[in-house]
Amino acid sequence: MRGIVTIDGPSASGKTSVARRVAEALGVPYLSSGLLYRAAARLALEAGVDPGEEGALLALLEAHRVRLLPGQENRVLADGQDLTPLLHTPEVDRTVSQVARHPRVRAWVNARLKEVPPPFVAEGRDMGTAVFPEAPHKFYLTASPEVRARRRTRERPQDYEEVLRDLLRRDELDRAQSFPAPDALVLDTSEMGLEAVVQAILAHLKD
Ligand code: DC
C-alpha cells in the first residue's frame, strides 16, 4: 500500500479504532487529526485562553511546539511531552468544536498532517474532502447517535444521557466539516462490530 487511506465520520463512529486496526493490517502508520484539535483545546483550557480567540490558540500551538508522532499508536507531543493521555476528557470534548471552527487553526492542523510522508491511514472529519482529496481510498463511517453514545459511555466518566446530549451538540457544531467525500464508501456501522468494519474496509482495498 503506497497511498493514503482516509476514514472520516462523526464522533464515536468508530473511526479511531477502525483506522488503527486498518493501519496495523496494512503495516502503515495512522494519523488522528482530531488529536491535534484536542491538543489545542487542552492547552487553551490549561492556559485559561478563550477558545474563541483564534490568534491566541495559534500562539499556544506554536509556543508549545505541538507535533504529531505518527505510528501504530498515534501520539501528540507538546513541549516534547506526550499530551495524548490528557486529550479524551469531557472538558476537552466540550471545548474542541469551538477550537476547530477557526480557519487558521484548521490550516495549521492540515499543514502538520501534510508534513507526514505517505503511506498512512488518516482519520477525522475532512480527511477525504479538504485535506487529502487526492487520496485513492476513502471511507466514511456513520452510526445512529444512540449507538455512538452507547459506545462513548464506555470510555467516559459520564452517564448515557449526558454523553448523548454532548454528542448531539458536537454533531451540530462540527456539521460544517463533517460530510462524506463524493468518492467515499459510506459504511453504517450501527449493526456492525469493529472486526466486521475493519474486514469490510480491507476487502474493499483489496478490490
Ligand atoms: O475525532 P475526534 O472526536 O477526536 O475529534 C475531535 C474534534 O475535532 C471534533 O469535535 C471535531 C474536530 N475535528 C475536526 O473538526 N476536523 C477533523 N479532521 C478532526 C476533528
CATH code, domain carrying 52: 3.40.50.300
Burial of 193 (0-12, 13-18, 19+ CB in 10 A): exposed
Same domain, 111 and 165: no
CB under 6 Å to ligand 1: residues? 11, 33-34, 37-38, 96-97, 100, 124-126, 170, 174, 177
Tell me: do 109 and 123 sit in the same domain.
no
Same domain, yes or no: 109 and 150: no
CA dihedral for 83, 69, 166, 94, sign (positive or negative): positive
Residues 24, 101 within the same domain: no
Query: Which residue positions in the chain have pLDDT lower than 70?
Result: 1-2
Same domain, 25 and 4: yes
- Phi, psi angles (nearest 5°) of residue 98: -65, -35
195 and 124 share one domain: yes
Cα 8 to ligand 1 centre (Å): 10
Same domain as 136, residue 106: no
Give the domain-ending residue among 115, 130, 157: 115
pLDDT of residue 21: 96
C-alpha cell of residue 146: 444512540
For residues 49 and 5, membership in a common domain is answered with: no
Q: What's the distance, CA 127 to chain centroid?
A: 9
Q: What pLDDT sits at residue 1?
A: 63
pLDDT reported for residue 50: 97
Count of structural domains, the chain: 2
Last residue of a domain, one of 61, 96, 115: 115
Task: Tell which of 100, 115, 130 closes a domain.
Answer: 115
Q: Which atom of ligand 1 is nearest to the CA of 177?
A: 15
pLDDT of res. 58: 98
Please give the pLDDT value at position 205. Answer: 94
Q: Do residues 125 and 184 both lie within one domain?
A: yes
Domain containing 85 equals 34-115
Identify the residue whose C-alpha is closest to ligand 1 atom 2: 34
State the distance from the centre of ligand 1 to the C-alpha of 186, rounded, in angstroms: 18
What pLDDT is recorded for position 74? 85
Does one domain contain both 71 and 171? no
| 81 and 95 both lie in a single domain | yes
Q: Same domain, yes or no, for 82 and 139? A: no
Residue 41 contacts residue 96 (beta carbons within 8 Å): yes
